[in-house]
Amino acid sequence: MPVHPDPAPPPTAGAVLIPALNEEHSVARVLAGIPEPYRARVLVVDNGSTDATARVAAKAGARVVAEPRRGYGAACLRGLAELAADPPGYVVFLDADFSDDPAEMTAVVDPVLSGRADLVIGSRVLGVRERGALTPQARFGNALATWLIRRFFGVRFTDLGPFRAVTWSALRRIDMKDAGYGWTVEMQVKAAKLGLRTREVPVSYRRRIGRSKVSGTVRGVLGAGGKILWVIFREALRRPGAAPRDSGL
């Protein structure tokens, strides 16, 4: 009978990373909604905003760093690089548009803190959605992408939602690279390939404050859809079992 090593102890202190682009009307509400246990280390990455996002976030108590290179993944990578100086046990990713409810963070983080998961996705598909919050193109894209992930990698997801928690040790193994729309799917596909423990928890979803940079424009929809599919097929074609290069996180 094979002997399996004892799992690593679950992480404790974490950090919340919020990429933000022109979200001056929502970012303060997001920060105010974060439950008290998770407010000790909140990092907002201003992704080249032309409004008062950075000032509003700082006034609301967050640490703010700038990433002028546009791209959701670019902002997240900048945030991880900033956290790497003093690595947290886990990172919660949360959007700045107030579409996800930060009050539900405990449900997203709990499987990580209890040692049951390396990566937890807050699934908008499994949760309660406000009418019109998840557009038809987003629902179709989620269904297609998660079907392909199950087909190619044997792991079942229902959503590519941005509200998620992941251990720092898992992030190091995943070695995130994508600087744009492929960020969320890259994390999930690589986690599946590495055999990391993944879970989904239902989260509620409401109409975002302001216009979406992705589903709100034809260019955004086509760009995001194409990038997501490209990441899935790229990873499916890579040699199974190839060790990812350490990102240095």
CATH of domain 14-133+161-211: 3.90.550.10
Query: What are the angstrom distances between the C-alpha of 22 and each of 19, 25, 51, 179, 191?
Result: 10, 8, 6, 18, 30
Which tens digit of pLDDT belongs to each residue from 187-200?
999 999 999 999 99
Question: What is the model's pTM?
Answer: 0.87
- The domains of the chain are located at 14-133+161-211
Q: What percent of the chain has pLDDT over 90?
A: 77
Residue 124 has pLDDT above 90, yes or no: yes
Nearest residue to 121 via CA among 142, 136, 138: 142
**pLDDT band of 8, cuts 50, 70, 90:** low
Residue 217 has pLDDT above 90, yes or no: no
Residue 22 has pLDDT above 60, yes or no: yes
CA torsion through residues 138, 171, 153, 74, sign: positive
**pLDDT band of 7, cuts 50, 70, 90:** low
**pLDDT band of 219, cuts 50, 70, 90:** low
Kindly report the average pLDDT of the chain as a whole number. 89
